Amino acid sequence: MSNNLAAGQKIKIRDIFADGVYRFNPITVQVLGICSALAVTNRVDNAVVMGGALIFVTAFSSLLVSILRKSIPLRIRMIVEVAIIATFVILFDQFLKAYAWNMSKQLGPYVGLIITNCIVMGRAEAFATQNTPLTSMFDGIANGIGYSIVLILVALVREIIGSGTLNIFGTQILTLLDIGYTKNLLFVLAPGAFFTAGFIIWGVNAITNTKEDANE
């Protein structure tokens, strides 16, 4: 977890975003919340909406946990956090069902499963309980963005290799099927996500490690 952001210190927004998106990216560095990263990344559309859902939930649950941080009884702290997270997740799910029916069907149970996403709980527990509301909200947004970027990257690879096409919200950007490309089922199914996410995590860590060595 981000140790350089100790409680009580004055924290720069830029640092929060650098940590959430890059330095301590929840997926590539902390390897949290990869369950949904594996499940919904067979299409870019799904990844975008899932990322949006996570940004919404982490932002508001961190905000609320931080507002209540001084009054939450210690013994039920985590239960309270889960209750708050669950409320926002269900709100988002209902919203999708009412206004984006097809997307809701595509994502199936995975929107509901954001409740158990380690990133949301992790940020609420590790950051929001020790920092001021606005800072916590920015931290939630930053981590949500970090998650979304990786999700979209994985989805880009999987959709192109798996389906041979790239459709973003109804607009076809690319199709390899015309030139005789055969769809690769492995990438449509979850194992494809393991490979893709694994390579991305490896790549990112290889790059960041080199930089750290160079700085020393």
Partner 1 sequence: MQKNSNLRTIGFATILGLVCSILLTFANIQTKPLRLANEKAEELTNYLFVLDVPVSPGAKADDLLKIFDKSIRVKEAGGIKFYEYYPENSSDDKPVAVAVAFNGPGLWDKIGGVIALEPDLKTIKGISFYKQAETPGLGGEIASDWFQSQFIGKSIISPSGTPGFKILKPEAATDSNSVDGISGATMTSSRVEVILEKLAGTISNARSAYEQ
For partner 1, which stretch binds (CB under 8 A), given 46-54, 97-105, 135-143, 200-208? 97-105
**175 contributes a contact to partner 1 by CB under 8 A:** no
Phi/psi of residue 172, each to 5°?
-80, 125
Given 3, 7, 14, 71, the residue binding partner 1 (CB under 8 A): 71
Residue 123 CB, nearest distance to partner 1 (Å)?
A: 19
Report the SS3 class of residue 171: strand
**12 contributes a contact to partner 1 by CB under 8 A:** no
C-alpha to C-alpha distance for 66 and 62, rounded to whole angstroms? 6
Give the nearer residue to partner 1 in terms of CB position, either 76 or 207.
76
Given 3, 7, 14, 73, the residue binding partner 1 (CB under 8 A): 73
C-alpha to C-alpha distance for 133 and 206, rounded to whole angstroms? 34
Report the SS3 class of residue 140: helix
**76 contributes a contact to partner 1 by CB under 8 A:** yes
Rg (CA), the chain: 18
**91 contributes a contact to partner 1 by CB under 8 A:** yes
**177 contributes a contact to partner 1 by CB under 8 A:** no
Residue 74 CB, nearest distance to partner 1 (Å)?
A: 5
Q: Which of 44, 39, 38 is nearest to 160 (CA)?
A: 44
Number of neighbours of residue 212 by Cβ within 10 angstroms: 9
Amino acid letter, 120: V
Binding residues for partner 1, rule: CB under 8 A, are 42, 71-76, 79-80, 83-84, 86-87, 90-91, 94-95, 97-99, 101, 108, 162, 185, 188-189
